[in-house]
């Protein structure tokens, strides 16, 4: 990983690149860095070979097999006002980077609202975006090779780039550089371009949303019902469903968790 970190430092001189053999979570590492220093002087990219307490959305954990996943977080101070759409836009940026790295996956690639990376009907990874003191921290977890053993089956079966491509995929500049370029092209924007770029990425996400025309369980007014997904509203980022002719709009992922326990384990987030 040292050679990769040096290559990334050469390609992106504006970045501080930190590579770690083991860490609790790349997200937590950056949260602590911001807490200690108040702000990041320049964007920081953290790469790890293994996480002991990988974090996913809504308090879920993410397990990895050491050396078999891309585990990274990019932290940067925003020059624009944070928006709830940033999470979808960051996931879309990672997806674009992944398709640039492996164009042969493009026709099979989808997003599952709000932050999963899907190949056909299998989850290959995901993102986690947090705002801390006007900084964006975008975590990325992508399964590269061997899959971790999970105590419970996740809502979607996991997969890896090696399994999907039929050849060994390891942590490399080929994979990481396009992801970093796409993310820097989002979090490094000035005020005048941020809205346009975020809107473009959310439209891209909405156009490839995996759940469209599928039925999902959703909690509405305290009741659990099954509703048909129409898609994602690119203006608000809400998931739109219909039930008996009634439109249901969901902004919180807690409403559509297939297994609503906060301790769920699912591969894919950094």
Helix ranges, the chain (H): 2-11, 26-37, 86-101, 161-165, 173-187, 191-207
**Record: fold of 2-207:** BirA Bifunctional Protein; domain 2 (3.30.930)
For residues 112-121, average pLDDT: 96
**Record: fold of 215-256:** SH3 type barrels. (2.30.30)
The structure tokens 């891309």 sit at 70
C-beta separation of 203 from 234 below 8 A: yes
Predicted pLDDT at 178: 98
Predicted pLDDT at 66: 77
Q: What is the DSSP string of 144-167?
A: -SSPPPPSS--SS-B--HHHHHTS
Please determine, for residue 260, whether its predicted confidence score (pLDDT) is greater than 70: no
Predicted pLDDT at 254: 58
Instruction: Among 6-10, 75-79, 104-108, 216-220, name the one with the lowest average pLDDT.
Output: 216-220
189 or 177, which is more confident?
177
Please determine, for residue 69, whether its predicted confidence score (pLDDT) is greater than 50: yes
Q: Which residues contact 14 (CB under 8 A, 6 or more apart)?
A: 42, 43, 184
Which of 117, 72, 89, 269 shows the shortest CA–CA distance to 186?
Answer: 89
Domain ranges (residues) in the chain: 2-207, 215-256
For residues 243-257, average pLDDT: 78
Please determine, for residue 269, whether its predicted confidence score (pLDDT) is greater than 50: no
Please determine, for residue 33, whether its predicted confidence score (pLDDT) is greater than 60: yes
Instruction: Among 48-62, 125-139, 176-190, 234-248, name the one with the lowest average pLDDT.
Output: 48-62
- Report CA-CA distances (Å) from 215 to 42, 76, 121, 220: 44, 37, 14, 15
Please determine, for residue 160, whether its predicted confidence score (pLDDT) is greater than 80: yes
Which of 152, 123, 145 shows the shortest CA–CA distance to 261?
Answer: 152
As a whole number of angstroms, the distance between CA 245 and CA 177 comes to 45
Q: Which residues pair with 135 in a beta bridge?
A: 77, 132
Please determine, for residue 194, whether its predicted confidence score (pLDDT) is greater than 60: yes
The pLDDT-based confidence of 224 (bands split at 50, 70, 90) is confident
């Amino acid at each position: 990983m040292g050679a990769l970190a040096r290559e990334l430092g050469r390609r992106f001189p504006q970045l501080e690149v930190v590579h770690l053999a083991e860490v609790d979570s790349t997200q937590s590492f950056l949260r602590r860095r911001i807490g200690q220093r108040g702000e990041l002087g320049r964007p920081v990219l953290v790469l790890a070979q293994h996480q002991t307490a990988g974090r996913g959305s809504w308090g879920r954990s993410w397990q990895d097999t050491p050396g078999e996943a891309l585990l990274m977080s990019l932290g940067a101070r925003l020059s624009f006002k944070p928006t709830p759409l940033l999470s979808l836009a960051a996931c879309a940026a990672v997806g674009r980077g992944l398709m640039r790295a492996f164009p042969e996956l493009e026709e099979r690639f989808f997003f599952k609202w709000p932050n999963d990376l899907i190949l056909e009907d299998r989850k290959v990874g995901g993102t986690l975006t947090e705002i801390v003191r006007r900084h964006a921290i975008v975590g990325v977890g992508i399964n590269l090779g061997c899959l971790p053993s999970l105590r419970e089956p996740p809502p979607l079966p996991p997969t890896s780039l090696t399994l999907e491509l039929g050849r060994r995929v390891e942590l490399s500049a080929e994979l990481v550089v396009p992801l970093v370029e796409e993310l820097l092209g989002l979090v490094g924007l000035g005020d005048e371009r941020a809205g346009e770029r975020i809107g473009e990425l959310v439209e891209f996400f909405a156009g490839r949303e995996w759940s469209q025309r599928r039925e999902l369980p959703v909690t509405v007014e305290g009741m659990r019902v099954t509703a048909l997904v129409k898609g994602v509203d690119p203006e608000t980022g809400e998931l739109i469903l219909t039930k008996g002719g009634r439109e249901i709009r969901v902004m919180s992922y807690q409403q559509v968790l297939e297994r609503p326990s906060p301790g769920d384990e699912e591969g894919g987030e950094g």
